[in-house]
A and B are shown apart, each in its own frame.
Chain A
Amino acid sequence: MTFVENLTLFVLAAFVGYEVITKIPTNLHTPLMSGANAISGITLLGSVVVAGSGSTTLATVLGFVAVVMATINVVGGYLVSHFMLAQFSRGGRD
């Protein structure tokens, strides 16, 4: 992938994000934020690659710490949003 191809993705994704997220009601802004938060843990993919490649001890240690942090972000973020959203849909049934 060239830099420009990556940049293309970035710009298009920004427009998609704008279109989708402006439609989300205020009610759901907290779960949206924690859900989006979990998505930003996607950096876990990078952490996995650098932790697993084990080229040097330093890179492995950094990778390990990065894997721990990103996994907390992903797992915690999705769980917290799930709990919150479960409350919203419960309230909605009444």
Chain B
Amino acid sequence: MAGVLGGLPEAVLQFTYLVAAVLFIQGLRDMTHPRTATRGNATSAGGMFLAVLVTVLWFEILSPVVLAAGLLVGGAVGVWLAVSVETTEMPQLVGLFNGFGGGASALVAGAELIDVLGTGTQLSVGLTTTAAIAGIIGSVTFWGSLVAAGKLHGVVGDSPVSPNAGHALKGLFLLLAVLAGLFLIVRPDIFGQPPVTPWLPSYWVLVAAASVLGVFLVVPIGGADMPVVIALLNSYSGLAAATTGFVLDNTVLIIAGTLVGASGLILTVIMCDSMNRSLRNVLFGGLGGETESEDMDEIYEGQITETSPEEVVMLMETTQRVVIVPGYGMAVAQAQHAVAELVGLLDENGVDVEFGIHPVAGRMPGHMNALLAEADVPYEKMRELEEVNPTFSQTDLVIVTGANDVVNPKANTDDSSPIAGMPVLNVSEARSVVVNKRSLSPGFSGIPNPLFAKDNASMLFGDAKESMQALVNHYKEETS
């Protein structure tokens, strides 16, 4: 058990792991402000490099070629993915990376079981229990993340089974995974001697059952609930790493994995609160299915005012304060650069302009902020729901682009609505509201939006990018 550094006392290894753990925590602390966040990310990466380096040098590496090949292949693929993927594809990329972390944890726990068996040692209950947990969480994370990424990428469709059948299947495979785990832990002596090895396959049964479970868990979940799923899988990937730390008796795995588990869980809770729904409801409830398709015509009939870019620009010329509310439609249309240009122009003309960003707008936590940052919008202009809501009454113009449910006043007024109680942006308190959307079709919740029929609201139909670009062009003409 000796590598290059193997002659040193074990305390050296443990101490280096402690330094790495401190770097991870300090890195996360630096993430609390955009100015220090880049440094924080580098600090965290430094901790990782240190931890990997000391591990490679410490342990006896019998197959250095295999290890080097793995590191090279993984590194190359990681760089390639990070460099080549478009900003719009960011949610699925983050989901995919998550899955790889979880999958690796499940495999490590399995390989460790094989290793320990190979040395002829009895499997301890602690080892088998933690390995079983790591295997379940890791496999669910891997397959759940693949499905989530596939759905976000549009290559995986909706669940082929009915919700009830889905629940039954989830229960069945969870039961199977837990039973396989119990077999691994207890290893009842029904096969006679030898008592150890026949139970190893039960680990792979567990992995297989948890994999199917992961698929069934995520397949029925729809697009707008993806921020919750992505955050939750993020948490799982951390917990899988932490449990693998228990299997291997590795302190830094436990600390780092737990930090990630906490981070993902906090984001999950924030996302659920922002929709006024429980995690259970997001994961198992589904939305909109039985909503009586309450006559959309009844609400919209004769109430919809359509506007044009020219008219919106005329409105903009007389405003002191503009709030822009972006949604997933902006991400799909890649409209963030046009929006940012519009904001820049308004800013130059002395208009007070800010963004009102709903926590669940988009497909992952902070999605809108990341897109706008890409388009060079200063982060001071991005306001959270609680900050921006009190300001709408002093706002002259709100431009909603590609958002729907997050500005639906029904959340406040109709207790029977599927989005009842969800905190929304109360844009109709502003003097006028322009809603840029491709059509009147409902959002993810499947319900009509009475905002569109309000007297101070008008619709600017069209693709978000084209519409915003049209506003930019007209505004330039008018103000130059």
Q: Is B79 touching A43 in the complex (CB atoms < 8 A)? A: no
B interface residue numbers (CB < 8 A to A): 24-25, 27-29, 31-35, 37-38, 40-42, 44-45, 48, 51-52, 55-56, 59-64, 66-67, 69-71, 73-75, 77-79, 81-83, 85, 90, 93-94, 97-98, 100-105, 107-108, 110-112, 114-115, 118-119, 126, 230-231, 234, 237-238, 240-242, 244-264, 266-267, 270, 357, 359, 364-367, 369-370, 372-374, 376-380, 382, 384
A70 and B262 in contact, given A33-B231, A63-B66 (Cβ under 8 angstroms): no
Chain A contacts of B73 at CB under 8 A? 68, 71
In the assembled complex, which residues on chain B have CB atoms less than 8 Å from the CB atom of A54? 62-63, 66
How many Å lie between the Cα of A69 and that of B103 in the bound state? 7
Give the shortest distance, in Å, between A87 (CB) and chain B (any CB): 4
By a beta-carbon cutoff of 8 Å, the part of chain A in contact with chain B is 1, 3, 6, 9-10, 13-14, 16-18, 20-56, 58-60, 62-92, 94
Chain B positions within 8 Å of A18 at CB level: 262, 266
Q: Is the CB of B55 within 8 A of A37?
A: no
**Which B residues touch A44, using CB under 8 A?**
48, 52, 104
CA distance A50 to B71 in the complex (A): 13
Q: Is the CB of B104 within 8 A of A69?
A: yes
Nearest Cβ in chain A — how far from B401, in angstroms? 19
Contact of A39 among B42, B94, B259, B379 (CB under 8 A): B259
Q: Which of A29, A49, A77 contacts B97 (CB 8 A)?
A: A77
CB distance from B223 to the nearest CB of A (A): 17
Find the A residue at minimum CB distance from B40: A35
Given A30-B364, A73-B101, A1 and B369 contact (CB-CB distance below 8 Å): no
Q: Can you offer 5 A-B residue contacts whose CB atoms are under 8 A?
A: A6-B245, A30-B364, A51-B111, A59-B111, A89-B34
Closest CB of chain A to B416's CB: distance in Å?
30
Contacts of B252 in A (CB 8 A): 42, 45
Q: Within the complex, what minimum Cβ distance (angstroms) separates B394 from chain A?
A: 22
Given contacts A17-B258, A75-B78, 14 further A-B contacts (CB under 8 A): A20-B29, A24-B31, A25-B33, A30-B370, A37-B237, A38-B48, A43-B105, A43-B244, A43-B253, A43-B257, A49-B55, A66-B70, A91-B34, A92-B34
Given contacts A31-B37, A52-B63, contact A87 B93 (CB under 8 A): no
List residues of chain A with CB within 8 A of the CB of B376.
Answer: 87, 90-91, 94
